[in-house]
Structure 1
Amino acid sequence: MRSGYRAPRRWLQCAIGAGLLLSAAGALAQTAATAGPAATAHQATAPRTVLVMGDSLSAAYGLRADQGWVTMVGERLAREHPGWQVVNASISGETSAGGSARVVEEVLRHRPGVVVIALGANDALRGLPLPELRRNLARMIGASRHVGARVLLVGMRMPPNLGPDYTRGFEQTYRDLAAFFDVELLPFLLEPVAADRGNFMDDNLHPTAEAQPAIAGHVWPALEPLLR
């Protein structure tokens, strides 16, 4: 990376986050004004949070919550990093626009140390123009970074019936954003299970309970370094 580009890039990253959080400035000021020593002490001892913002693939669609990969990651987190916890803010059917609309409220509520952004599949299924996907995900990354959180951006891959240009551009969007914001990228959430039809429910979209441990094991190596 050339040094001449680094400064304007950092400025833009900060501007994205600051612009999103500006609307919440009143709530922040009120919280700071009313928080006393007890609240400060609680924050110092409370577990650090990994906030997951995803769609049905992360919300354990069709499964019990405890069968989903996010819960499994949370259980491993409790064992290996007891100072951390997972909050799953994923919603079935969520799009990047929905995540972008919710991100400020979520990061201000949970003050996460790490944010996992796993959105985009529903955008592609609806044929959302890629510039909109890029803009929505950038806003989520910017808001997360602005509250001091590290970010794990989780990508998806789409079937070829969407057309080669869209399919390639969709994957490239995640790579470009990860490079621009200098955040960790997991290119494809379903990498370890996608090749076997038996890993999916009858809708051929959502992984079964039996496939969830493989997904959790796939996410962990990308997430764990961000906890240090």
Structure 2
Amino acid sequence: MILKQIPIQHYRLLMFCYILLFVVSCGGNSSKKAEQKTSEKEAVVTKAIDSSKVILFFGNSLTAGMGLDPSDAFPAIIQTKIDSLGLPYKTINAGLSGETTAAGKSRISWVLNQPIDIFVLELGANDGLRGISLNETRDNLQSIIDYVKDKDSTTKIILAGMQMPPNLGPSYTEEFKMIFPKLAEQNDTYLIPFLLDNVAGITELNQSDGIHPTEEGQQILAKNVWEVLGPLLEK
């Protein structure tokens, strides 16, 4: 059988259709590849966010930044420093004004609702101001430490030391002060010797109540915390 010769214009049209089909097909593959790459990038970003380690600050009004904007409290100041250094950590401010060690003991179970890498425990000041039994304060702090360890034995714990003015008597004042280093030693935790070092008793660094730090005072608290916390992050 003899095939009829295809007219040149039909041939050109046929070739154009083939080329067009090929381009569209390749374009579709390129689009799919581009979408795949975008999805991969999004996955990497999500993974990077999810991989951020968590620092939980668990305390009272000193941590919460009472009387100030939350961005001026020392946990937020530390977050700014962490970000400037490009370290993969995010901070959570779980400070609650008026919190005692007993209240903290009751609250800890629902605060630890996610994995925590570093736990900063800042409680006890309100116990001292109320003259609560030293044994009760000590036992409550120990219970909180035990709970954190039982939840995740790899969590690093930093205990913020606190001191009281001498109006409750020298014996109470000295014993209260020693609660924190003794607990830190017994539990092999890190210790901030005195959270309010270079702030307590200095009028211009405290608000009108004479207890809660000003913005400048919170900057010093952040420095006191960073001296212990910083080396752990930079490792």
Calculate the TM-score normalised by the size of structure 2: 0.75
User: CA, structure 1 residues 42+101, in 2 after alignment: closer, same or farther (shift >3 Å)?
Assistant: farther
- Which residue pairs with 1:169 in the alignment? 175
Name which of 109, 120, 123 aligns with 1:119.
Answer: 123
**Aligned equivalent of 1:132, options 129, 136, 156:** 136
- Contact 2:200-2:211 at 8 Å conserved across structures: no
C-alpha contact 1:155 1:187 (8 A) present in aligned 2: yes
C-alpha change, 1:45 and 1:201, in structure 2 (3 Å) is closer
- Contact kept, 8 Å, 1:51 with 1:110, in 2: the verdict is no
Kept after mapping to 1: 8 A contact 2:100/2:127: yes
Equivalent residue for 1:90, pick from 73, 88, 95: 95
Instruction: Tell me, in whole angstroms, the C-alpha distance in 1 between the residues paired with 2:86 and 2:149.
Output: 22
Deviations 1:87-116 (A, max 9, x none): 011100001111111112222x13110000
Q: Which residue of structure 1 aligns with residue 198 of structure 2?
A: 192
Query: What stretches of structure 1 of length at least 5 have no aligned partner?
Result: 1-37
Task: Give the root-mean-square deviation of aligned CA atoms.
Answer: 1.9
Instruction: Answer whether contact 2:100 2:126 (CA < 8 A) is retained.
Output: yes
Structure 2, unpaired ranges of 5+: 1-42
The structure 1 residue matched to 2:66, chosen from 53, 61, 66, is 61
Residues in 2 aligned to 1:44 and 1:73: alpha-carbon distance in whole angstroms? 18
The one of 87, 90, 101 equivalent to 2:106 is 101
Question: Does the 8 A contact of 1:50 with 1:113 survive in 2?
Answer: yes
Highest CA radius of gyration, 1 or 2? 2
> How far apart, CA to CA, are the structure 2 residues paired with 1:225 and 1:144?
21
Number of residue pairs aligned between Structure 1 and Structure 2: 188
Q: 1:87 is paired with a residue of what secondary structure?
A: strand
Go from structure 1 to structure 2 and tell me whether the alpha carbon gap of 1:181 and 1:62 turns closer, same or farther (over 3 Å shift): same
Determine the C-alpha separation between the residues in 2 that align with 1:144 and 1:150.
9
1:132-154 Cα deviation digits (max 9, x unpaired): 11111111111222212100000
